Amino acid sequence: MTEQITNDDFIFPKYHAISVDKTHFFYLCPHPKKVCPSLVHFHGSCGDCETNRIENRGSHCKGETTNVDVCIDNGTLRKCLAVRGNSLTFKKYK
Ligand SMILES: [Zn+2]
């Protein structure tokens, strides 16, 4: 018997990037604290903070079992995000 590969294998959870700068893009963790203690996850932005796109990444999130798609669109702030505890601060990037 051969194992079937279905389309579902290629459908990843989709999240919206809240901000992107030249180093990272950031998205809010959708999972409860008891599943994942992180408020925000971030990945390298490959130096591109301008282009709207979807980035597929292996998540560091404890609530994810697959890669995730993170959408960078017109609603994504072009700013650096600083996370301290439960507070988020957006800063201008240079
Ligand atoms: Zn998480």
Q: Residue 17 corresponds to which tokens in the numbers above?
A: 């990037």
Tokens standing for residue 71: 């959408």
From ligand 1's centre to the CA of 53, what distance in Å? 21
pLDDT at 11: 86
What is the tens place of the pLDDT at every residue in 22-72?
Answer: 999 999 999 999 999 999 999 999 999 999 999 999 998 999 999 999 999
Q: Does 77 have pLDDT greater than 90?
A: yes
Residue 36 falls inside a structural domain: yes
- Number of structural domains (the chain) is 1
pLDDT at residue 41, as a whole number: 95
CA of 2 to the centre of ligand 1 (A): 34
Mean pLDDT of the chain: 90
**Would you say residue 89 lies in a domain?**
no
pLDDT of residue 10: 73
- 36 in Cβ contact with 59 (< 8 Å): no
What's the pTM value of the predicted model, to 2 decimals?
0.84
Q: Is the residue at 38 inside a domain? A: yes
- Tell me the residue range of the domain where 40 lies: 3-82
